[in-house]
Amino acid sequence: MNRRVLVLAEPEGDGVTEVSHELLAAAFRLAGDGGPVSAVLPTPDASASMAAAETLGGAEVLLVEGPAHDGRTGEETAAAVRAAVEVTAADLVLLPHTATGWDAAPLLAARLETAVLTGVSSLQWSEDGLTAERQAFQGKFVHEVGTKRLPAVATVERGAFPARPAGSAAQVRTLASPLSLERRRSRLLEIRDAASEGVDLAASDVVVSAGRGMGGPEHLHLVEELASALGGAVGASRAVTDAGWLPHDRQIGSSGVTVAPKLYVACGISGAIQHLVGMRGSRFVVAVNKDPDAPIFGAADVGVVADVKDILPALTRALTGADG
């Protein structure tokens, strides 16, 4: 059975984002037998987006053009995708599980009177709809969900599908956007870089990171002492920087710094995917967590199931020979 799959292609530079090519790979797999795959690319100027469209190998590309598509708000993206759903009669719409998808997918779903399968890492057709795997409880569990409602909307986790190589599009069409400047109710004013002092985390051979499991700022000296015994820098999870225990420039993860040290020590960090993407490139990972089911152990070479307040001082002692 052939199913029609539509993906969002996000313009970036002269092409589209890497995740757009990943969505295309997922779409071709789900469309079966080379079934129709379409890509929608919202743009203020279709002629300027031709080159980007031509990288979407094998897809029928719809350039949804209009002056309101200058900022990629959820409203703009949802309106463009909605228009493309109508033209293509898609059974399934794939968006990236990124800031773009978080913003656009629920608006689109509300219009289609359905819910979104968010953050999916796999998708399959079932007899009466679609099933998907995603994470629940911040990565502690795999959650299998299903929907019978078509068209279905899903946001796909980055890296879940290997990107489809760029190639020429099957066809490129231009569509006038239904969203006008007058009707638009949200508007991008500017994009700027968040100020970051950048303690030299990214350059350190050793990073020792504190998580909420450290229990409070009064225990962070344990992390600092271990980092200094290992000759490394101190990093943190978002829970720690949000709580103000450490400054924001120490945060490692999708909304912080990406590190790839020779040694990464995670202390009281659960291992949510947004943290893991920031440290997955580390050569050797040690995780200390009192919960044997913590997802961080899935990303570690050595796991210690224990209280950080016991293990950290013992390790620091052993490294410095403090107890002779």
Partner 1 sequence: MNAVALVKQVPDRNSVFRPAGPWIDESSLGYGINDYDRYAVEAALELREAGAVKQAVVVTAGPDEASQAIRTCLAMGMDRGIHLVCPRASLADPFRVAKALAGVVRAQDAGIVLAGLLAEDSGHGQVGGLVAGLLDMSWASAVTAVRFRDGKLEVERELESSRVAVVELELPAVVAVQTGANTPRYASLRGIMASRRKPVERIEPPELANPDSCDARIRSLRLAKPERAASAEILEGAPDDVAAALIPRIRSGAGIVLGGGAS
| Contact set for partner 1, span 12-31 (CB under 8 A) | none
Q: Is the dihedral of CA 22, 27, 28, 32 positive or negative?
A: positive
- Residue among 68, 220, 272, 312 that touches ligand FAD (CB under 6 A): 272
Cβ(194)–Cβ(222) below 8 Å: no
Partner that binds at residue 237, options partner 1, ligand FAD, none, CB closer than 5 to 8 Å by kind: ligand FAD
Site string for partner 1, 234-253 (x = CB under 8 A): ----xx-xx-x---x-----
- Residue among 44, 255, 258, 319 that touches ligand FAD (CB under 6 A): 255
Partner that binds at residue 177, options partner 1, ligand FAD, none, CB closer than 5 to 8 Å by kind: none
Q: Is the dihedral of CA 95, 100, 106, 112 positive or negative?
A: negative
Q: How many CA atoms lie within 13 A of 214 on its CB side?
A: 29
Tell which residue, 143, 152, 136, 112, has the closest CA to residue 30.
Answer: 152
Q: What's the closest the beta carbon of residue 264 comes to ligand FAD, in angstroms?
A: 13
Place of tokens 């089911």: 293
CA 56 – CA 5 distance, rounded (Å): 14
Place of tokens 């589209």: 16
- Residue among 27, 64, 208, 308 that touches ligand FAD (CB under 6 A): 308
Q: Does 56 bind ligand FAD (CB under 6 A)?
A: no
- Residue among 51, 89, 99, 181 that touches partner 1 (CB under 8 A): 99
Nearer to ligand FAD, 151 or 268 (CB): 268
- Residue among 42, 256, 268, 278 that touches partner 1 (CB under 8 A): 256
Angle at the Cα of 219 from the Cα atoms of 230 and 272, rounded to 5 degrees:
75
Q: What's the closest the beta carbon of residue 141 comes to partner 1, in angstroms?
A: 5
- Give me 284's structure tokens: 């050797």
- Give me 241's structure tokens: 């920087």
- Give me 251's structure tokens: 């945060």
Q: Does 146 bind partner 1 (CB under 8 A)?
A: yes
* Residues in region 108-127 near partner 1 by CB under 8 A: 108-111, 113-119
For residue 146, the surrounding DSSP H or E stretch is strand 141-147
With CB under 8 A as the contact rule, which of the stretches 40-48, 169-177, 214-222, 285-293 interacts with partner 1? 285-293
CA 153 – CA 110 distance, rounded (Å): 10
Cβ(255)–Cβ(249) below 8 Å: no
CA 74 – CA 187 distance, rounded (Å): 10
- Residue among 33, 182, 190, 218 that touches partner 1 (CB under 8 A): 190
Q: What's the closest the beta carbon of residue 302 comes to ligand FAD, in angstroms?
A: 15
CA 253 – CA 237 distance, rounded (Å): 7
Nearer to ligand FAD, 309 or 317 (CB): 309
Q: What's the closest the beta carbon of residue 280 comes to ligand FAD, in angstroms?
A: 12
List contacts with ligand FAD (CB under 6 A): 138, 211-213, 215, 237-240, 251-256, 268-270, 272, 274-275, 278, 288-291, 294, 307-309
